[in-house]
Chains A and B, each alone.
Chain A
């Protein structure tokens, strides 16, 4: 079976690299995106199995990007996990209302994070 593809969207390139190393080591294929426009393009081009999405990014934040993905037929069923340093109640609520599959706050717990990804991808 082909490796599951995860799109990591974050403007912190260092973090995207770190997550790529960790996720590849766990057997996933990883592709990165660094702003809202790129997320949309890469998501349509590569059809990932999961998007890990930052909230504050240039050219369309995580909420706008998720909204766009959820409104596009070919990407609407891709689960989105938010990974953000924001911890405000209203941010969490907004994430919920967008139908996200998870909300992790940076800095985050590795074990819990990887668990929830493997559960989502059924691997």
Chain B
């Protein structure tokens, strides 16, 4: 009767005996549901789900068929892993009941599969965590150590689980500032008791019960820090040794030109002037290289303060005016009265202005160099500083490259003695560090315009 109903509904099926040969055929048939009639089975024999499991068919859903009233047998089968049970007699139309079992069986299979994926993933993660070279640990929000991996145990010893993280890891009597303050992820550096420096990164995770835990992973940065220190000392010494002879050259040139070593004739004076100019160029190159190294080799350290853009321009104005006057150029400055202040490193922004305005003066033979400041109300408000000139301009094909380190525009017309191609690269880095933008426009033989923006300073509420 069951066979008739299945056939009528269009199911593919096989009927097999309940012995091991039958189970083997189930395996070969690879079906979506096994309907297992328990009629006349002995109460001591293994349940169907168990028998299928033993034959390697742990994912095969099985619905048992028991005599009405044999609830205990049905319950035992369910407990051992059957997906469903049907009572006999099956009635005139058993199909709906069978479909329900089929659906339950599919769900059971899905859940089993998901659980296995979760378990595998969990095992992989635990495996990675346990075996990675970096120390890692998990703590509760109350700073109790739940887990430490092997690398962590190699530093702190085994048996520290259950301890308090700030005591065990950092020898402190209270939580570290970063954990006390930050919710979620955090980053900090710390020297651990093996004497090495570590960079920590932490993230909040939820355990299977939905409780918050914090996972922290530490990376050994001892070598990085040592290299950084050596590099810094090296640069400091090289800078020192490059400047020392320049000081003596400068002094003796001064002595000669001031006549402290006897009066010079015009020709001698002209010769010493050349030495003076050359040593100035060398000095500028050295300082620019040192500056570029400082700015481009690491995060820029900014001394940010609220400042008036006029004050910043004032730092370099006299020098720029003198340079322009030397070349017979008109140097104009226009700054509106009612500008909001900026939040900036005054010396560095002054350096940017000196740089781009200095370039304009350098590459303009006649006409005007104009420094203009404006206000853009977009976003939180931005100050825009522009330098426009009537100079030789930048060829279009070079416009995209002039901000690159050591880039110089080639060409007969543009030969200018000083400059190593550092100024604009440095300037862009400085402006970027201020969350501003520096860009250029140019028409060859007509002139150039360089612009940069700085965020306007928001009142004390400004999040800096």
Chain A residues at the B interface, C-beta cutoff of 8 Å = 12, 14-15, 18-19, 21-22, 25, 56, 84-88, 105-108, 110
Contact = CB atoms under 8 A, between A and B. Distances in A.
B250 interface: yes
A34 B239 CA distance: 21
Nearest to A25: B260
Given A21-B260, A25-B260, A88-B236, A106 B244 contact: yes
Interface residues of B, number: 21
A85 B240 contact: yes
A107 B247 contact: yes
Interface stretch (B36-44, B74-82, B104-112, B251-259): B251-259
A105 B254 CA distance: 17
Nearest to A84: B240
A86 B240 contact: yes
A112 to B, nearest CB: 13
Given A85-B241, A87-B239, A22 B247 contact: no
Contacts of A19: 251
B236 A106 contact: no
B416 interface: no
B283 interface: yes
A15 B243 contact: no
Given A21-B255, A85-B241, A86-B240, A106 B261 contact: no
Which 8 pairs of residues, A with B, have the shortest CB-CB distance? A106-B247, A18-B251, A85-B243, A85-B240, A107-B247, A107-B246, A107-B250, A14-B248
Contacts, number: 54
A57 B433 CA distance: 37
A21 B261 contact: yes
Contacts of A86: 236, 239-240
A87 B260 CA distance: 30
Interface in B228-251: 236, 239-244, 246-251
A84 B254 CA distance: 19
